[in-house]
Structures are given as structure tokens and as C-alpha cells.
Amino acid sequence: MKTAFITGITGQDGAYLAKLLLDKGYEVHGGVRRISQPDRVRLEQLGIAQRIHFHDFDLTEPNGIFRVIRQVEMDEFYNLAAQSFVGTSWELPVYTAQADGLAVVQILDALRTLRPETRFYQASTSEMFGLVQEVPQRETTRLYPRSPYGVAKVYGHYITMNYRESFNMHASSGILFNHESPLRGKEFVTRKITLALAALAHGGSEPVVLGNLDARRDWGFAGDYVEGMWRMLQQDVADDYVLATGVTTTIRDFVRYAAEALDMDPVFDGEGTSETATDRKSGKKILEVSEKFFRPAEVDLLIGDPAKAREKLGWEPKVSVGALAQMMARADYDGLK
Ligand code: NAP
Ligand code: GDD
């Protein structure tokens, strides 16, 4: 039986990855930070909370990182914990740098010292491509981050490569494009949309208020992406891989897909902050735009090329963006019943 340690186990990806590894027969350990009201709701939703060995863990506490790596005899270490919300990274830039950048080298260095044979996965991100220098984006595309989050993740990405090259560690970095699910955090745009539309479908009257509707994202299903993470650590040689669908969609079109899944017929009207959407069937206003949700610098277009992952890992995304929007909208509708 293999043993895995997952940081960020209470997050969206941590929960799906823990379920995948338990199903494969792993002993799963997870790092959780101290909060006033412990919340393991995603792990409970997947029915696995009781099967996980929890450890106190905070990305900003190097001694704790060192101790947990000494205590747990792990074969694989998945570093999924992060300050993961791009918008907040402009408000908490130093904390984001510590959690998403410096903590990565603290983990790698503790592994190098205590368990150099442990296989390591770093959660890198398409946000590192930022102002994209090539379309579609692949492993070799030049990085141009556009947020403090993206900048911190670039450090995590390069230090992972550096420890692999310097110390021959099995350290891989997954450059993952946006992936969503019914377990997605409520502030991310997809879940914000599906939750608000589900409430409207139940008779509510509050439109969803969004920012930039023209941004494009390459959205996949988180359940597919954690399978790719695991496959990276099963390779003989560590490497970096893009996981993406190769399809890009505007925020506006994601709203359309989600609304249609809830039997609405959205009609968009106006421009900029005056744009609205109305459901032709009920006549209800379902969307407004506010300056409040625009970002100081935007990533306008993301579209990934997952050819290397397909070829080397045999990895394929299985859920289209339309099916994803439907899955999330229906789950939120049922959840609000
Ligand atoms: P998420 O749902 O926001 O989960 C983040 C996890 O990190 C949570 O378990 C959170 O714990 C934990 N965490 C945050 N700050 C911490 C700290 N200081 N110490 C210890 N734990 C801390 O994020 P996700 O969507 O699962 O993403 C997983 C990873 O992939 C992140 O590193 C993210 O940046 C990266 N990524 C995500 C995507 C995507 O589209 N989802 C794409 C590319 C890369 P709490 O539960 O206590 O908050
Ligand atoms: N969150 C949010 N809220 N985003 C909005 C809104 C809104 O009201 N209105 C428009 N958007 C736009 C954002 O400006 C951005 O262009 C896009 O929707 C997606 O925003 P998020 O869902 O917050 O995701 P993200 O792309 O910034 O970041 C996610 O994906 C990254 C991978 O590219 C996160 O999961 C990151 O952790 C991840 O690295």
C-alpha cells in the first residue's frame, strides 16, 4: 500500500484527489490549517472524511512543514494548498507570495533533507501564462503572469524544476487550466454563476452580479484533472505537463450554458457595465455587471494544448464545458431544494 500526503486536502482538488487515491488503495494523509470552525464539508460530501489521517499544517509555518514530513512515511507528496483566489492576491500580495511561492521551496527542501525519494507534485497554473505569448499555451510557452498570484506560482513552478535538476528529485509540476465542479469555491466565477442561477430557478429574484464577461477560460472538470496529477507521479521520470481541454469559452457563454441547463433562455443586452441578461421565459433579470468585480490586470484568454499529457500520460479530459456547466447548475439546483 502506498502512502500519500496532500496539502490543501479540504479544497476542491484535494477532496477529489483524496477520493481517487483511497479508491486506488492508498493510505491518505492530509494537511489542514487551524481555523476556528473546522470545515471538511467537501470530504464529507464525498463520504471519505473518516478515512483520512489529518495533520496540522500551514503553508506559512516552515517548522510545521519540516515536522510533518519527518513524521509521515510518504511515497508521494501533492502540494495543492494555496491562496488560490486570484482577485484576493492583489489585497494580500505578501501572504500570497509566502503561501504560493516560498512555501514550495520550504516543502522541497524538507523533502530533500528528510525523504529525497518521495515523489512531489506542484500545483502550477495556467494563470502563469497571463498575457499569453502563444496560442494555444503549452509547456514551453513563455510565462507572463498578470497577478500577484500568478507571480508567486511562477516561483513555485521554477523552484520545482530547479530541485528536480539540482538534486535529481522526482518533482513534477502540473500546469493546470481552470477546472471546476460542484465542489468549487463559491467566489470563483463558474460556481458564483451556477449558485445564483439555481436560486433564480427556485423563484429567487437576485441577478448574479459579475465583472468582465469577455474573458475566456479553458474549463474542465476537476475529477478528470486529479487523475492527471496522479499519472504524473507514476512516470519513471518527473516532468511538467499542461492539463487542459483545448476549448476556450467566454464568461458570457458559460452563463448561457448554465442558464439553459436550468430551462432559462438568456438574452443579453447593453455593453460594459450597462450590460444585463434577462430570461426570455420568465422575464426576470438574471445578470448585471459591476465595476467592483473587474481586476486591476486581466488574463483575457486561456486555451491550453494538452498534447504532451495525452501522449505521455494517456490523459484525456472527459467532460465538455457545456456538460460541466450543466453538472454544476443541476447540483446547485438540487442542493437548494
Ligand atoms: P481551493 O479549493 O481554494 O483549495 C485550497 C486549499 O488550500 C484548501 O484546502 C485551503 O484550506 C488550503 N490552504 C489555503 N491556505 C493555506 C495555508 N496557509 N496553509 C495550509 N493550507 C492552506 O483550491 P483548488 O481549486 O482545489 O486548487 C488546488 C491547487 O491547484 C491550488 O494550489 C491552486 O492554486 C491550483 N490550481 C487550481 C486550478 C483550478 O482551476 N482549480 C487551476 C490551476 C491551479 P482551507 O480549506 O482551510 O481554506
Ligand atoms: N471570480 C470572479 N467573479 N471572476 C469573474 C467575475 C466575478 O464576479 N466576473 C468576471 N470574472 C472573470 C475574472 O475576471 C476572470 O477573468 C474569470 O472570470 C475567471 O475568474 P475565476 O473564476 O476567479 O478564476 P481565475 O481564472 O481567476 O483563477 C482560477 O483558475 C486559475 C487557473 O487559470 C483559480 O482556480 C486559480 O487558482 C487557478 O490557478
**What domain count does the chain have?**
2
* 201 C-alpha to ligand 1 centroid (Å): 30
What is the CB-side half-sphere exposure of residue 270 using CA atoms within 13 A? 12
79 in Cβ contact with 163 (< 8 Å): no
Position 38 pLDDT exceeds 90: no
Query: Do 211 and 285 share a domain, yes or no?
Result: yes
Q: In residues, how long is the chain?
A: 337
Instruction: Write the residue with the smallest CA distance to atom 18 of ligand 2.
Output: 189
Same domain, residue pair 145 and 257: no
**pTM of the predicted model as reported, rounded to 2 decimal places:** 0.99
- Domain range for 293 is 189-215+250-300+326-335
Mean pLDDT value across the chain: 98
Residues 54 and 157 both lie in one domain: yes
Can you tell me whether residue 211 is helix, strand or coil? coil
Q: Which residue has the cell 469555491?
A: 185
pLDDT at 199: 98
Whether 311 is catalytic: no
| Residues 85 and 9 reside in one and the same domain | yes
DSSP state of 183: T
Q: What percent of the chain has pLDDT over 70?
A: 100
- pLDDT tens for 262-276 read 999 999 999 999 999
Clarify whether residues 16 and 153 are in a common domain: yes
**127 is a catalytic site residue:** yes
Q: Do 240 and 280 belong to one domain?
A: no
Task: Name residues whose C-beta falls within 8 Å of residue 50's C-beta, 6 or more positions apart in sequence.
Answer: none
Domain shared by 25 and 155, yes or no: yes
Peptide bond into 266 cis (omega under 30): no
How many angstroms separate the CA atoms of 193 and 260, rounded?
12
Ligand 2, from 178, 183, 286: best to mutate by most atoms within 8 Å of Cβ? 178
Instruction: Quote the CA–CA distance of 91 and 50 in Å, as a whole number.
Output: 35
Strand pairing partners for 125?
176
Ligand nearest the Cα of residue 251 is: 2
Rounded CA-CA distance 224/178 in Å is 12
pLDDT digit string (tens) for 198-215? 999 999 999 999 999 999
Please report which helix (H) or strand (E) contains residue 276, including its range.
strand 276-279
Beta-bridge partner residues of 119: 76
Q: How far is the CA of 252 from the centre of ligand 1 (A)?
A: 25
Active site residue 225: no
Which atom of ligand 1 lies closest to the CA of 10? Answer: 9
Residues 101 and 196 in one domain: no
Q: For residue 217, report the distance from its CA to the centre of ligand 2, in Å.
A: 8
